[in-house]
Structure 1
């Protein structure tokens, strides 16, 4: 049985999501592509997006400067701070971190650490 990278990542993400669903916790989920990084805070029942932020937003792209590159650690740090601010504004203090099968390294790690520094508790 051969599986590609995407299938392997999705298999890993299912394990994490099942564990978080049992806890019934609000989750901070991350998705990354080569060009952008996206973060969403999703309610405990998994039906409602409470807050979201991404490097595809026009306001963020202007903050990133002339290059507008969203596929780097600096951009991920910016998104981490922004998602924490939005979540706190919506009344969410504590979340479970859902890295969606991505390795906790590089951009994913930078986003998580920036969100922690901005006041979200994992």
Structure 2
């Protein structure tokens, strides 16, 4: 029974991800910031889709952060600092199929508070 529920949950996330990615794309001036969260940690990266390169990345595991709101805020601050060092002030937020609440919303708010316009 758990396998059926998990497959459905993953399938719904994949549908949401496909729907979101059809609408946004990153450019060198305005990259796409994608977030991934697992049960243990959170990862984020700024992606330029024109040449398919990662401009900046933040790894919650390397920073010793957990997958909670406080960890997401710290990760957002770290990514914002690395983006500002590269001269990027504006970005598009890709929630990667996750619902916009909790960890994902905290991460986006932390980016906005640190000067990245989403």
Q: Same fold (TM over 0.5)?
A: yes
Which of these residues, 42, 48, 56, is aligned with residue 51 of structure 1? Answer: 56
Shift of 1:46: 6.0
**Segments of 4+ moved more than 3 angstroms:** none
What TM-score comes out, normalization by structure 1 length?
0.83
Q: Secondary structure at 1:56's aligned position in 2?
A: helix
1:20 matched to 2:15: no
Shift of 1:26: 1.4
Once residues 7 and 54 of structure 1 are traced to their aligned partners in structure 2, the CA distance between those partners, rounded to angstroms, is 26
Which of these residues, 103, 108, 117, is aligned with residue 104 of structure 2? Answer: 108
Once residues 108 and 119 of structure 1 are traced to their aligned partners in structure 2, the CA distance between those partners, rounded to angstroms, is 17
Once residues 46 and 76 of structure 1 are traced to their aligned partners in structure 2, the CA distance between those partners, rounded to angstroms, is 28
Q: Supply the RMSD in Å over aligned alpha carbons.
A: 1.8
Corresponding residue for residue 11 of structure 2: 7
Shift of 1:113: 0.3
Cα distance, 1:46–1:102 mapped onto 2, change above 3 Å: farther
- Where does structure 1 lack aligned partners over 5 or more consecutive residues? 65-69
Q: Secondary structure at 1:108's aligned position in 2?
A: helix
Cα distance, 1:43–1:20 mapped onto 2, change above 3 Å: same
Once residues 14 and 83 of structure 2 are traced to their aligned partners in structure 1, the CA distance between those partners, rounded to angstroms, is 25
Corresponding residue for residue 45 of structure 2: 40
Corresponding residue for residue 93 of structure 1: 89
Shift of 1:27: 0.5
Q: How many residues align?
A: 111
